Copies of this chain bind each other. A is one copy, B any other.
Amino acid sequence: MPEVKLDNLDRRILAALQRDGRLSNVQLSEEVGLSPSPCLRRVRLLEQSGIIRGYHAELDRGGVGLGLTVFVGIKVGQHDDEVDSAFRDAVADLPEVVSCYLLSGESDFLLQVVVPDLPAYERFLRGTLLKLPGITDIRSNFAISTVKRETGLSLAHLPGAAG
């Protein structure tokens, strides 16, 4: 990614588009205090530089029938490349897996899994997760409630942000 340094105008644009990704350029320009044309130019630069990776609709999980979130810690036996990449490839193809990180510490991988309900999770666990290659331990942690879920990143508290 090309190095880009963001000024306050850029940060305000990013904050606004994280909050509402469908703001019209006219609205956005008013919000950040520019006229439409330079505002649009900055947005295009942020897009081309890769700072803005895309725009996405956020759905209500319950509303589309995906009410249960489970965090799954998974240990794999040994980290030989073959088993490891087989596991990664498998995970990438599972629609129920929303995110997967390789972690230091406790478990090897942390998966966020989204399914309709508990029976669906049991099916997914038995029918899919437990059959993945190289796994030695699986620990399921059910989300009882969502205390906080941000769709965006806070830029205001970063070093370099003035005001």
Contacts and interface: CB of A to CB of B under 8 A. Distances in A.
Given A71-B101, A148-B97, A59 B53 contact: yes
Interface residues of A, number: 73
Contacts of A146: 99-102
A115 B73 CA distance: 22
Interface in A36-87: 49-66, 69, 71, 73
Contacts of A53: 58-60
A162 interface: no
Number of this chain's copies in the complex: 2
Given A18-B56, A22-B22, A65-B158, A71 B4 contact: no
A160 to B, nearest CB: 8
20 contacts: A1-B63, A20-B55, A21-B56, A51-B60, A52-B59, A54-B58, A54-B151, A55-B58, A56-B151, A56-B152, A91-B148, A99-B146, A99-B150, A100-B147, A100-B149, A101-B144, A101-B147, A103-B143, A106-B141, A116-B158
